A and B are shown apart, each in its own frame.
Chain A
Amino acid sequence: MKNVDLVVIGAGPAGMSAAISAYNSGAKDILILERDSELGGILQQCIHNGFGLHKFNEELTGPEYAWRYLKKVQELKIPYLLGTMVTEITKDKKIIAINPSEGIFEIQAKAIILAMGCRERSKGALNIPGSRPVGVYSAGTVQKYVNLKGYLPGNEAVILGSGDIGLIMARRMTLEGAKVKAVCEIMPYSSGLARNIQQCLNDFDIPLKLSHTVVEIHGKSRLTGVTIAKVDENLKPIMDKKEYIPCDTLLLSVGLIPENELSKNIGIEFDSVTQGPVVDQNRQTTVPGVFACGNVLHVHDLVDYVSDEAEIAGKAAAHYLNQKAGETINIPIKTDGKIRYTVPQRFTEYKNTVLYFRTANVYSNATINVRDGDKIICSKKKRKLLPATMETITLTKEMISSVNSGCMSIELEVAEND
């Protein structure tokens, strides 16, 4: 069995950034495990631009953003294994992995950073009536086919869900010669970025049908069409407002789920909203020495924030290995429903912390209040809050140490609800 101080699972933007940050903070015995055949994770199939505006003040493509980190991993000579799938992590931090050259092998780690990312919600999660022909794909699968394999899976497509991957793929398929007939979104607003609605749909006259969903899939061996319908305010389809759209491909862009199968065996606590681990300001889970960052922790909208978060986790993992942990406290953060979740979910140390959060709905002219009982310890006004946009509020060490009630809460004061 190998012994390694710090094992990083996953070499996407989170894993690479965490490993670099851990190395720069003093951890020198690091091993990154990656199941794909190259470093970079999902960025390698995201060939469009728009990454890195916050981090590098430039608009990079996915592979270019990955390259910035990949180059550093190689320069620092941080060891990594490709084509290596972790199958189990035990409570005492033993990692069981498999690859073609070593077969099944074990690594004993002192600290672990979980950076496995997320995966797409699948057709099975949707319960759409109708048959199950060829031609129904998740948007990310089609992205891999088109951008990495050079295979366009159909000529006439309908996209269900207006998340960014769906919007990006509407443009990508159009550029490669397919006709995208409609993007249907069950909610009255898109979950994608406004600029992607413009540059991926409007630029190519692709209709965005808000408050619409697919109610039937047609076709026996190959998809021949879908029936779509408008939904009412309870998101129930209005069946007399149906429309049949002939198509040979249906793309699903209906949400992402943190990929935590490996983490479930370690005995860490989970957040039922994020579907990721509960972490503190250092992105340490409830099991000491196990850290999590990136989309395995909560789904981000910008990779720049993933890199930031991974830097925090990497640095903290190095400090953990050095036994540099400060005094420990436990202050959980409660949310009010209008705010769906926060990351971190608790504080174990008095430390300046950027609190990330998402709202449940679209809100205008809102005030975000962070409270200790009745006392407001920090507040921030926002003109517009969208569920698709991750928001932040910065708490200082002093604010956190002023908490007397043992618990912090974050609430939204709203003037109007759109």
Chain B
Amino acid sequence: MIKNLTCIVCPIGCNLEVEVEGNKVKRVSGNECKRGELYARSETVQPVRTLTTTVLTDDGRLLPVRTDKPIPKNLIFECMKEINRKTVSLPIKIGDVIIENIAKTGANIIASKNMG
């Protein structure tokens, strides 16, 4: 089976053609770089995304946060639920871990900004 994907690794957004047999990727074409092939393989087996959102702080402002590595796409809303239940105490430094092992994905939610 041939699957068509848009690579999301960089702003070029290559159109990828992926030849799939069962759950196996036989061939990837259309990618301008190596990362495109890796993306096609991961997207076919288990799509992952970096999640970015905000967390409420104890002074009422919002702290921008992100996952420190991509998480399975189908767990995004579960992660959002957990993040939206959380309130963090300031001060916070950029890179600080806000939630460890979010939704058992192995990824941490980290701060994108200094806030004090």
Do the two shown chains form a genuine complex with each other? yes
Contact B64 A195 (CB under 8 A): no
Give the size of the chain A interface in residues (CB under 8 angstroms).
Answer: 29
Q: Is B1 at the interface (CB under 8 A from chain A)?
A: no
Whether the Cβ atoms of B114 and A47 lie closer than 8 Å is no
- Quick check: is B44 within 8 A (CB to CB) of the other chain? no
How far does the Cβ of B107 sit from chain A's closest Cβ, in whole Å? 13
With A195-B13, A198-B6 known to touch, is A175 a contact of B49 (CB < 8 Å)? no
Chain A residues numbered 16-74 whose CB sits less than 8 Å from any CB in chain B: 44, 47-50, 53, 59, 61-64, 67
Our pick among B11, B54, B73, B77 for the contact of A301 (Cβ within 8 Å) is B11
- Given known A64-B112, A147-B54, A175-B80, contact A53–B64 (CB-CB < 8 A): no
B94 contact set on A, CB distance < 8 A: 63-64, 67
Chain B residues with Cβ below 8 Å from A150 are: 54, 56, 60, 62
| B residues 76-116 touching A (CB-CB < 8 Å) | 76-77, 80, 94, 112-114
- Which residues of chain B are near A61, meaning CB under 8 Å? 52, 64, 66, 112
Q: Say how far B4's CB is from chain A's closest CB, in angstroms.
A: 11
A193 touching B13 in the complex, CB below 8 Å, given contacts A63-B112, A198-B6:
yes
Our pick among A64, A67, A199 for the contact of B49 (Cβ within 8 Å) is A199
Q: Collect the chain B residues with CB atoms within 8 Å of residue A149's CB.
A: 62
**Residue of B at shortest CB range from A38?**
B113
B8/A67 in contact, CB under 8 A: no
Within 8 A of B (CB), among A278-313: 301-302
Measured as residues with beta carbon below 8 angstroms from the partner, the interface class of chain B is: 20 to 34
Inter-subunit contact B62/A147 (CB<8 Å): yes
Whether B71 is near chain A, meaning CB under 8 Å from some CB there, is: no
Say whether A251 faces chain B, with CB atoms less than 8 Å apart: no
Q: Is the CB of A48 within 8 A of B113?
A: no
User: Could you tell me the distance in whole angstroms from the C-beta of B83 to the nearest C-beta in chain A?
Assistant: 10
B54 touches A198 (CB 8 A): no
CB distance from B54 to the nearest CB of A (A): 6
Is B28 an interface residue when CB atoms closer than 8 A count as contact? no
How does the 8 Å CB contact mask read for B9-21 relative to A, with 1 for contact and 0 for none?
Answer: 1111101000000
Q: Give A67 to B50 CA distance when docked, in angstroms.
A: 19
A223 within 8 Å of B (CB atoms):
no
Within 8 Å CB of A47, what residues of B?
52-54, 64, 66, 112
Q: Please name 11 further chain A to chain B contacts, defined as beta carbons within 8 Å, in addition to the given A50-B11, A62-B112, A198-B13, sorted by A numbering.
A: A49-B66, A61-B64, A61-B66, A150-B62, A175-B80, A193-B13, A195-B6, A195-B8, A195-B10, A198-B5, A199-B8
28 A-B Cβ contacts within 8 A? A47-B112, A49-B50, A59-B50, A61-B52, A63-B112, A63-B113, A64-B94, A64-B112, A67-B113, A67-B114, A147-B64, A149-B62, A150-B60, A175-B53, A175-B77, A176-B53, A193-B13, A194-B6, A194-B13, A194-B15, A195-B8, A195-B9, A198-B6, A198-B8, A198-B13, A202-B6, A203-B73, A302-B11
Interface residues of A (CB under 8 A from B): 44, 47-50, 53, 59, 61-64, 67, 147-150, 175-176, 193-195, 197-199, 202-203, 301-302, 389
